[in-house]
Structure 1
């Protein structure tokens, strides 16, 4: 893997290609000019996963070329945070002289933060025991002696050994304030912290002056909920993954936010509840009728919104849509633009040097005066 800084013109060229592609895709919806939020050209990924390759008495990180499937040795990872690169070198130096920790080690996952915390997960093709725990604790202590604020986790089939913590606490500067986010190992987190800050601040800018309450689907660990809470009377947020819900509740508490309520249910289930198709025990203490939501926020998976949820969100005057897949976004916009118009469009370059694009769209109902 090339460990040199990518040429500046290479980054600018790939970003220009994305801008052109997005403009073409959004042309049929009469979208305004996209607001562009670039990424740092290097050291932008806060998490990374590597296979471990064993060769005689040596071992090293590898990745596979997505096209040729060829194995690529990775000693330095330009895309990864500086902390990931430092930990990669430190881990290899320690593991080469630790046979018990090396034995059938299959993968290393790194999760880091701008605030300097890290969790490393060691994944094995063999059972883990107390002897492994003791060796891993010694490795952790060695890393901490070098100045790393790091925790280690061991994973194998049906086994997870957590020495201390299985999370990091990220601290992001957002619009002049610091927000604390607990990020749990093996759960979704935004990979590009710098661009995530851009996304949060853009979402704040497009909801400035918003009225009433906010309905948020797919809230994750509360990434957007915490930032947007100050612009709404109340936030009602849904998320299906239990670790993410637990992290969101922690994040709400640690940031001293008192107007966000998180419900553990999928967007599809919430749509069924709103239509009265099903009763859910999880909603027995939630006064849905008491919420006055004029804005709905969605950040769905790559598949986008299902048809029923599309119809449900069309009932709201304002729709804020963050998408990690412009193709599914366009499919949803084909329906959404029948009732709403696009007021703001943004491109967030979460994944430089790849074809992936993250987009933000603010839609306002045709019969609703624009406040953007």
Structure 2
């Protein structure tokens, strides 16, 4: 998204236009009127990454337009970044520019911040990082802690990762009146718009509140939805393939003292095979009971942009209730063409995670047709 598209004074009308397009896309499925959750027009992104462009001893944060990927566009103002990221950007750039050791062959800078006040800056290089780099980087970290006291810093190069502080940040989200803590690891997936993410979790929990039995969750990530949803089900089986996300989810379950969730490292395709009895997986032997002994009536899915594959769509049709969070309305619509042959959309929501873009996060609750 070009920053020239960021027009806070037009945010409401832009959101209305986006919502109208999504309503048109979904009209074939006759959903109820959508609940629409807006974003703050500015200061909403909790993570950002920039290439570094060198011009002699000077450097700039830059981005590239999709239609012109070779011409760098210098970024001097980043109004969509959260307050912490905005506060760090210019002092960091000035410090790097004045320090030959830190700026030499610096390729990219990444920011990760939280509503809880944690921040993490990652500096990525095209050279090995020696002890001299770490000495200067620690001085940089201490200088930036005057702005962000809980800041950590990481240096990366090929096959190297030097950590000054932590390689994670701590987020705290208040959901249904309760605070939940999340450990978010550097370079692992996290929702970029924390306040809209909170609305998404609360919407999913409200849909789950009247459901019974056990829950199967696919693509659980670091437990973003899993942990609050667990309060509404007897048992939860949550699946995720990425190792770092599985590790984070298990740590977050422990931190939040949630004891009715089992995390299984399986892909959605593997879960489908297990549910259909096509394959047995040794990882399922870690469960306190066999898969067939769970009362799985509800499935929660938050798939990548490609949506659910054909076999997984057929598998989730076997559930009484489906809570589907989608980051791509077009692949959601493709999945709904199958799901709505057996289920009805009971609730529909839109979450504006990415203002000033065509992207819209959507949520649907589907219940199986009565015979």
TM-score above 0.5, yes or no = yes
Q: How far apart are residue 144 of structure 1 and its match? A: 1.9
Q: How far apart are residue 146 of structure 1 and its match? A: 4.4
Counterpart residue number, 1:40: 40
Distance change (3 Å), C-alpha of 1:162 and 1:337: same
**Where do residues 1-20 of structure 1 align in structure 2 (5 Å cutoff)?**
6-8=7-9, 10-20=10-20
2:110 equivalent to 1:109: yes
Q: Secondary structure at the match of 1:279?
A: coil
341, 347, 353: which one pairs with 1:344? 347
TM-score, structure 2 normalization: 0.96
Q: How far apart are residue 322 of structure 1 and its match? A: 0.4
Counterpart residue number, 1:180: 181
TM-score, structure 1 normalization: 0.96
**Where do residues 170-209 of structure 1 align in structure 2 (5 Å cutoff)?**
170-209=171-210
Distance change (3 Å), C-alpha of 1:262 and 1:320: same
Counterpart residue number, 2:27: 27
Q: How far apart are residue 66 of structure 1 and its match? A: 2.5
Q: How far apart are residue 200 of structure 1 and its match? A: 0.7
Q: Is the 8 A contact 2:118 2:148 kept in 1?
A: no
Counterpart residue number, 2:309: 306
Q: Is the 8 A contact 2:6 2:356 kept in 1?
A: no
Q: Secondary structure at the match of 1:21?
A: helix
For residues 78 and 3 of structure 1, the distance between their equivalents in structure 2, rounded to whole angstroms, comes to 11
For residues 316 and 261 of structure 2, the distance between their equivalents in structure 1, rounded to whole angstroms, comes to 19
Q: Is the 8 A contact 1:3 1:76 kept in 2?
A: no
Q: How far apart are residue 227 of structure 1 and its match? A: 1.1
Tell me the alpha carbon deviations over residues 138-158 of structure 1, each in whole angstroms, 9 at most, x when there is no partner: 211222244532111111112
In structure 1, stretches of 5+ residues that fail to align are none
**Where do residues 279-290 of structure 1 align in structure 2 (5 Å cutoff)?**
279-286=280-287, 287-290=290-293
Counterpart residue number, 2:299: 296
Q: How far apart are residue 2 of structure 1 and its match? A: 6.2
Counterpart residue number, 1:239: 240
Counterpart residue number, 2:333: 330
For residues 174 and 158 of structure 1, the distance between their equivalents in structure 2, rounded to whole angstroms, comes to 39
For residues 125 and 97 of structure 1, the distance between their equivalents in structure 2, rounded to whole angstroms, comes to 19
Q: Secondary structure at the match of 2:215?
A: strand
2:71 equivalent to 1:97: no
Pairwise CA RMSD of aligned residues? 1.5
For residues 5 and 316 of structure 1, the distance between their equivalents in structure 2, rounded to whole angstroms, comes to 41
For residues 15 and 355 of structure 2, the distance between their equivalents in structure 1, rounded to whole angstroms, comes to 8
Q: Is the 8 A contact 1:170 1:183 kept in 2?
A: yes
2:158 equivalent to 1:138: no
For residues 295 and 185 of structure 1, the distance between their equivalents in structure 2, rounded to whole angstroms, comes to 31
Tell me the alpha carbon deviations over residues 191-210 of structure 1, each in whole angstroms, 9 at most, x when there is no partner: 00010011011111111121
Q: Secondary structure at the match of 1:51?
A: strand
Tell me the alpha carbon deviations over residues 18-51 of structure 1, each in whole angstroms, 9 at most, x when there is no partner: 1111111111011111110000000000000001
Q: Secondary structure at the match of 1:123?
A: strand
Q: Secondary structure at the match of 1:12?
A: helix
Counterpart residue number, 2:124: 123
Q: Secondary structure at the match of 2:188?
A: coil
Counterpart residue number, 1:51: 51
Q: Secondary structure at the match of 2:306?
A: coil
Q: Is the 8 A contact 1:3 1:77 kept in 2?
A: no
For residues 315 and 329 of structure 1, the distance between their equivalents in structure 2, rounded to whole angstroms, comes to 18
Distance change (3 Å), C-alpha of 1:333 and 1:251: same
**Where do residues 354-365 of structure 1 align in structure 2 (5 Å cutoff)?**
354-365=357-368
